[in-house]
Amino acid sequence: MSESKKHFRIDEWIAAILMLIMALIAFLNVVSRYFLHKSFAATEEVTINLFVWMTLIGTGLAFEKGGHLGMVSLYDLFPKRWKQAVILLSAFLSAALFCVVDIVMIQTIYAETTIFHSISGALGIPMTVYYVGVPILSVFVFLGIYRETTRKFKELEAKR
């Protein structure tokens, strides 16, 4: 695909916006420390949680682009049928891992909203505000797994 025909990708835009927000927060914190000799207490809390969200989006993008570690040397030795099986197994295990992550986070969100009612230390907002991003942004991880799997199958078909 040529660069001029590249279409709008919401995951890339969300990642860019999160990175911009984190950079602005860090810049404002440095400026406040320099001029006011004090730092904002909430900056670390917000930055860490935005980084977690950014990691999820980046994981989906890395899946799609084949940016994760793989055992290509061994994979290349397999016949076509085995390669198809390995691709499906890898996709299944990756999706299963993020299903477990989502289930645990949904259970945590439920516990936070019904039992614990935890609030963040610096801003005093409910922790569920930060937690809810994990299962929502995991959609991009699942999309990345799907796109990588279909890309690999197309590559195998093209080698015929």
- The verdict on residue 3 lying in a domain is no
pTM: 0.86
Distance, in Å, from the CA atom of 160 to the CA atom of 82, rounded to the nearest integer, reads 15
pLDDT tens, 58-108?
A: 999 999 988 877 778 888 889 999 999 999 999 999 999 999 999 999 999
- The verdict on residue 61 lying in a domain is yes
Q: Position of tokens 């039992």? A: 115
- The verdict on residue 76 lying in a domain is yes
**pLDDT, the chain, mean:** 91
- The verdict on residue 1 lying in a domain is no
Query: Is the confidence at residue 20, as pLDDT, over 60?
Result: yes
- The verdict on residue 18 lying in a domain is yes
**How many degrees, rounded to 5, is the angle at CA 76 between CA 74 and CA 81?**
105
- The verdict on residue 128 lying in a domain is yes
Q: What is the pLDDT of residue 72?
A: 82
In the chain, the number of structural domains is 1
* Distances, alpha carbon 26 to alpha carbons 40, 41, 56, 135, in Å: 10, 12, 21, 26
Give the structural domain span for 119.
8-158
- The verdict on residue 2 lying in a domain is no
**Residue 10's pLDDT band (boundaries 50, 70, 90)?**
very high
H helix and E strand count, the chain? 6, 0
Query: Is the confidence at residue 1, as pLDDT, over 60?
Result: no
Task: Say which residue, 36 or 69, is predicted with more confidence.
Answer: 36
- The verdict on residue 106 lying in a domain is yes
Q: Position of tokens 């990756």? A: 94
